[in-house]
Amino acid sequence: MIGDKSMAKDNRRSVPWTWGAGLLLVVSAGAAYGHYTHRWGPPRDLTAAASHLKTLPKTIGDWQLQEESEIGPGVIQMLQCAGYVNRAYVNVKSGESVSMALIVGPPGPIAVHTPEICYSSRNYTLIGGREVGRVADQAKQSHTYWKTTFESKSVFAERLRVCYAWSDGVRWNASTSPRFEYAASPLLFKMQIAGLAGAKDEAIDKTPPAMFLKALLDSGWQLSPGDGNRPAA
């Protein structure tokens, strides 16, 4: 009986500790999620990054700004977007055009939205799978990006080439798991460039989106503000 009473006391003592440990786990998880989604407001570096996006040049190589438009408030809220540029550029030599969206925000929402989701809900069908593209900037640093092709369900069946990638501010990356790869990052950039395709056998690295991306990387403009950031003229 004495042993039973002692065991009962030990069990009673363990209950508050177990409950406390569970509460600590819940609070820690909630704090991590709050940091992940920036529930308590954007950190200072995210605010600075959002402001810096506005310095994206209007002329990038042979590409000239044609139009700048706003992203809808519903999309801004869904992505918890802290800043963005949403532009159309035209190549003054070839006449080809691209649309480019560059956004920055907390890594959680920014990581999960891809063109495969976006365009599939806008009367487009994904043609084949996505492929990794590789390109170097003016400093010979290597970047990767996803390249995809969509076909319109309209009677014209137009094909659209789309390139996209994520970055923590250092280099562009065709990440397979951006939500986990950038979970510890204070912010995440996402770039998406789209343009009409030419011939069906056209090499995707020679399409307007890929060529625009190459021009952007060669321009000297960088995602993060600093002494090494040399915007194009």
Residue pLDDT, tens place only, 198-224: 765 566 678 899 999 999 999 999 998
Amino acid at 125: T
Sign of CA dihedral 18, 24, 25, 30: positive
**SS3 of residue 143 by DSSP:** strand
Q: Taking residues 128-144, report their average pLDDT.
A: 92
Q: Taking residues 61-88, report their average pLDDT.
A: 93
Instruction: In whole angstroms, give the CA distance from residue 127 to residue 149.
Output: 5
Express as a percent the part of the chain with pLDDT over 70. Answer: 73
Q: Can you give the pLDDT at residue 113?
A: 81
Q: Between 26 and 223, name the one with better pLDDT.
A: 223
Q: Taking residues 73-96, report their average pLDDT.
A: 93
pTM of the entire structure? 0.77
**SS3 of residue 189 by DSSP:** strand
Express as a percent the part of the chain with pLDDT over 90. Answer: 53
Q: Indicate left, alpha or beta for 20 from its phi (over 0: left) and psi (-120 to 50: alpha).
A: alpha
Contact 186/45 with Cβ under 8 angstroms? yes
Contact 67/73 with Cβ under 8 angstroms? no
The set of residues, in sequence order, having a beta carbon less than 8 Å from that of 101 and lying 6+ positions away, is: 71, 84, 85, 86, 87, 191, 192
